[in-house]
A and B are shown apart, each in its own frame.
Chain A
Amino acid sequence: MTPTLRPLRPCLLVLAAFAALAAGLPASAEGGARPKIAVIISTLNNPWFVVLGETARARADELGYDATLYDSQNDTAKEAAHFENAIAGGCKAILFNPTDADASVANVRRAKAAGIPVICIDREINATDAAAAQILSDSYSGCVREGQYFVEQVGEQGTYAELLGLVGDNNTWNRSKGFHSVVDRYPGLKMVAQQSADFDRAKALEVMESILQRNPAINAVFCGNDAMAMGAYQALVSAGKDRQVKVFGFDGADDVVRLIAQGKIAATGMQFPKKMARQAAEFADQWLKGRRDLPQKVPVKVDLVTAANVARYGDYGKKP
């Protein structure tokens, strides 16, 4: 630095610091393109995930980012391609609902290596050193409560079926294990079928039809999400068994909440997708503004929704 510029050195340093800070911040309305954020969701073939993805995108938009929503269609190869596009496209952060707790880790690590923070939403990855933070439904605790309610409603004697979600997703097993941690304590409650329907309504309809053919006298069905609960309920209506078989879902989807209010479905677990999605966008924004002490895992409480309290719930959350 020349002697004539030396007195300006503190000012230049301050200007440089502001410039560096501004590089990580959303551009103002007047100032150029907004920084990009990718919202990568496991599937948009389920209204619950559409709410999750759209809410994350909307909150990122409010915070000053240009957010793009990607649908992985429950396919890890598609998910990997979305990550490649997001990294190559200059995204500053990724809000991510993984397809597979193990297989998705590599994608998160690839983004991290490129300096891009990833915030997982609803579903976790099996690593604690890859994502910047993970905001996760406390599915296990929610299903412990639902299992207790199941025993209250079905009784300590009876037969039931279980529809599992995607077998590679931890939520599938957290829900199943939470439910069984209660129900298995009652030897009079017999599980006669346990099959995966991949969290999918159409598959659940087929699986439930098949289960009913082999087990026409079951008393209840526990479903690992509400899309499957809707499929199972549809199969029961078609078979004329919707009054005989109690249906238990999980998610807090609007159509299931409405059916609980009508006395047609027994219960669900409200997962608060909007709350989780907003929090994820806010975490990404905070990270880009310099915060580095985000909690690695934030379990989000799941509320049991039954006929007794259904009036307090709707629109994917709790009414104010």
Chain B
Amino acid sequence: MRRPWGIFLAGALLLAAAALFPPVRFHRLRAERPAAAGFQAPAYARKFWRERLLPAGERAAPASEVLAALRRDPAAAEKKYGRTIGDSDTRYFFFQGTGTVVADGKSGVALALAGGGADLIFPTGFLFGNAVRDASGLLDPGAFANSQDFNAVAAELNHLVETRVLPALRDGARPGRRLRFVAAAEVDPDDGPARPLPAVPVEAAFE
């Protein structure tokens, strides 16, 4: 007569043990997906801009030195000042300096670093490409689980330039005004370094 109670007790103990230490656990598959699903490119780009890119601008190479080197010997200049991402012959340059506005037209604001013609041109329309993201060499594509996130950062950084830098540049540009800047440029070997060299300003302030 005592056996049914024993079986019941043993079964109850087994159920309790299974509840406390389940032999199988069920997970939602989506929860196992990489954290990239929650990546917020605008917030990441703003933080990068504020905490890393702008401080790096203070240590950027002098623009006059970079441009002179590019004109003298592009290959040597690329080696000394250029950066590249992955397997590419495109070179990015990050520099800072002061120049004089020599023209303000549809294609952008043209700047002369010394006397003479324009050395740089800052386009003031839509921005495309990766110069702002890649020229400083601060971001590694291998740190991003999903390359869509890395690419979204490039678009967001361009957006920051369009909204934070370009409006004041467009409004204040007059021939003869002096401008302090930090800028990023992209040079494609098939085209060579253009003169004036197109560059994207990440900082621009009139003196």
A: residues with CB less than 8 A from B are 101-102, 105, 124, 126-128, 135-136, 138, 140-141, 144, 147-148, 170, 173-174, 177-178, 181-182, 185, 275, 279, 295-301, 309
Interface of B is mostly: loop
B151 touches A174 (CB 8 A): yes
Chain B residues whose CB sits within 8 angstroms of the CB of A147 once the complex forms: 128
Chain A residues whose CB sits within 8 angstroms of the CB of B154 once the complex forms: 140
A144 touches B148 (CB 8 A): no
In the docked arrangement, what's the CA distance between A309 and B190, Å?
A: 10
* Contact A138/B148 with A144-B128, A148-B128, A182-B128 known, Cβ cut-off 8 Å: no
* Contact A173/B33 with A144-B129, A297-B141 known, Cβ cut-off 8 Å: no
In the docked arrangement, what's the CA distance between A299 and B88, Å?
A: 8
* Partner of B148 from A141, A170, A182, A296 at Cβ < 8 Å: A170
Of all chain A residues, the one with the shortest Cβ separation from B36 is: A126
Return A282 CB to nearest CB of chain B, in Å: 12
- Tell me how many residues of B have a C-beta within 8 Å of chain A: 26
- List 15 A-B pairs, Cβ < 8 Å: A101-B146, A102-B34, A124-B146, A126-B36, A135-B87, A136-B86, A141-B130, A144-B129, A177-B155, A297-B142, A298-B86, A299-B85, A300-B87, A301-B86, A301-B90
* Partner of A297 from B126, B147, B190 at Cβ < 8 Å: B147
In the docked arrangement, what's the CA distance between A279 and B86, Å?
A: 12
A299 touches B128 (CB 8 A): no
In the docked arrangement, what's the CA distance between A173 and B155, Å?
A: 14
Interface centre among B86, B130, B144 (most CB of A within 10 A): B86
B147 touches A299 (CB 8 A): yes
In the docked arrangement, what's the CA distance between A185 and B162, Å?
A: 13
B146 touches A126 (CB 8 A): yes
In the docked arrangement, what's the CA distance between A14 and B37, Å?
A: 50
Return B157 CB to nearest CB of chain A, in Å: 12
**Which residues of B from 55 to 91 have beta carbons under 8 Å from A?**
85-90
In the docked arrangement, what's the CA distance between A138 and B142, Å?
A: 13
A300 touches B128 (CB 8 A): no
Return A250 CB to nearest CB of chain B, in Å: 15
Of all chain B residues, the one with the shortest Cβ separation from A302 is: B88
Chain B residues whose CB sits within 8 angstroms of the CB of A181 once the complex forms: 128, 155
B155 touches A297 (CB 8 A): no
The answer to the question of B12 belonging to the interface, with a C-beta cut-off of 8 Å to chain A, is: no
* Partner of A138 from B88, B89, B145 at Cβ < 8 Å: B88
* Contact A185/B146 with A126-B36, A298-B86, A301-B86 known, Cβ cut-off 8 Å: no
The answer to the question of B143 belonging to the interface, with a C-beta cut-off of 8 Å to chain A, is: yes
In the docked arrangement, what's the CA distance between A19 and B12, Å?
A: 58
* Partner of B126 from A101, A128, A177, A185 at Cβ < 8 Å: A185
In the docked arrangement, what's the CA distance between A140 and B150, Å?
A: 10
In the docked arrangement, what's the CA distance between A173 and B130, Å?
A: 17
Return A305 CB to nearest CB of chain B, in Å: 12
Chain B residues whose CB sits within 8 angstroms of the CB of A140 once the complex forms: 147-148, 151, 154
* Partner of A136 from B143, B147, B155 at Cβ < 8 Å: B147
Chain A residues whose CB sits within 8 angstroms of the CB of B128 once the complex forms: 144, 147-148, 181-182
A301 touches B129 (CB 8 A): no
B89 touches A301 (CB 8 A): yes
Return B71 CB to nearest CB of chain A, in Å: 24
Return A135 CB to nearest CB of chain B, in Å: 8
Of all chain B residues, the one with the shortest Cβ separation from A101 is: B146
4 tightest CB-CB pairs across the interface, nearest first?
A296-B142, A299-B86, A301-B88, A140-B151
- Extra contacts, 6 of them, besides A141-B151, A182-B126 (Cβ < 8 A), are A178-B151, A297-B144, A298-B86, A299-B87, A300-B87, A300-B88
